[in-house]
Amino acid sequence: MRENQISEQQRRAAKKALQKAYKKRMRKKRSAVGYIGIPVALIMIAACLVSIVSDKVELSEKQAELDALRQEAQRLEAENAGYESILSEEDERTYMERIATENLGYAYPDERRFYDTSRN
C-alpha cells in the first residue's frame, strides 16, 4: 500500500509541476501576445482614425463642390428663363428694338436723349 501512496504523491507532485510549468509558459505567451498585440491594435486604431479624417475631408470638399454646382445650376436656369421669355415674345421686331435701344444705345431719328454728364 505504501507503493500506491508514493505513486499517488508522485502523481500529485508531477501534476503540480506540470501545472506550474504550464502557467509559467502561458504567462510568457500572454506577455508576448501583449507586446505584439498592443502595437498592432494601436496601428489599426491609427489607421481607422486616418481613414475617418480623410473621409471627412473628402466629404467636405464634395459638399463644397455640390454647393458650387447648385449655384451654377440656378444661374443657368435663370439665364435659360430669360432666353425662353425672349423666344416666347410674339413680335421679333419689338425685341430687336429693345436690344438696340437698351444695349447698343441706338435711338430713333426724331428721338432726343439726354445724358447726365455731371456725374464723374
Low-confidence ranges of the chain (pLDDT < 50): 1
Q: Are 24 and 18 in contact (CB under 8 A)?
A: no
Residues comprising the chain, all counted: 120
Burial class (CB in 10 A: 0-12, 13-18, 19+), 95: middle
Domain ranges of the chain: 2-74
State residue 18's pLDDT score: 81
CA 58 – CA 54 distance, rounded (Å): 6
pLDDT the model gives residue 67: 97
pLDDT for 1 equals 45
- The pTM of the full predicted model, rounded to 2 decimals, is 0.45
